[in-house]
Chain A
């Protein structure tokens, strides 16, 4: 099956995350506040080279640019 999001370089994991985010935002006030906390992700990483720590980066941002770069190269 061909999915439009796949052509744009998005992974199935990303597709599920976007769909879940839309569902959470559609909830009524009460359950929404409790649910939206689950969608938050703030993971950072740094690359170590020659015993020195590189610039810490946000994983979400690095993922998004990697997806864009991959779609570009196709």
Chain B
């Protein structure tokens, strides 16, 4: 009789002992986690819930790197370079024209932009030509709206020129 009770107590004790190591999370485990990246344009899906190690995004509030288990947030993006670090250290670089990045609580990152292309699709010559043109309009005597649009273009083009070097 007493041996049965003892066995029962042992049976009950074991699951609790097993649970303890699972609750402990070491630093190494956290780093191994991946973030699920979705990078979508209105006309194309570049990444669809793909596991990657880190994503660097140009937020309006500053450049930031997003790892797994990042705090949930919504960031407005500047026109700029998005770097995607894949497992093994390979990086992919896309230039986005501006949009939003949403970090969800379950290690998901969704980036939405209007236009986005890999860096090798850009022509440094076309960028130079446009900068000269936009500077002319920005410093000219056009309407307030034309000048504002030229300044937006300059922001995009200067950011593009900086990453193409």
Residues of A within 8 A of B (CB): 1, 4-5, 7-10, 14-29, 31-32, 35, 38, 64, 67-68, 71
Cβ contact within 8 Å between A27 and B149: no
The residue that A22 contacts in the complex, of B43, B60, B121, B153, with Cβ under 8 A, is B153
Chain A residues contacting B114 (CB-CB under 8 Å) are: 16-17, 19-20
Cβ contact within 8 Å between A22 and B122: no
Cβ contact within 8 Å between A23 and B126: no
Cβ contact within 8 Å between A31 and B117: yes
Residue on A with the closest CB to B128?
Answer: A26
A-B CB contacts (within 8 Å), total count: 90
Cα of A20 to Cα of B116 in the assembled complex, Å:
9
Cβ contact within 8 Å between B126 and A22: no
Which residues in window 116-165 of B have CB below 8 A to A?
Answer: 117, 121-123, 126-127, 130, 134, 143-145, 147-149, 151-153, 155-157, 160
Residue on A with the closest CB to B164?
Answer: A26
A20-B114, A27-B117, A27-B123 known; A9 vs B144 contact (CB < 8 Å): yes
Return the 4 tightest CB-CB contacts between A and B, nearest first: A8-B148, A20-B114, A23-B97, A22-B156
Chain B residues contacting A19 (CB-CB under 8 Å) are: 79, 97-98, 114, 152-153, 155-156
Cβ contact within 8 Å between B126 and A18: no
Cα of A29 to Cα of B123 in the assembled complex, Å:
8
Main secondary structure of the interface of A (DSSP, over half): helix
Mask of B31-69 contacts with A, CB within 8 angstroms, 1/0: 000000000000100000000000000001000000000
Cα of A8 to Cα of B138 in the assembled complex, Å:
13
Q: Known pairs A4-B151, A20-B98, A28-B123. 12 more at Cβ < 8 A?
A: A1-B60, A10-B149, A10-B152, A18-B152, A19-B97, A22-B79, A22-B97, A22-B130, A28-B126, A67-B145, A68-B145, A71-B144
Chain A residues contacting B145 (CB-CB under 8 Å) are: 8-10, 64, 67-68, 71
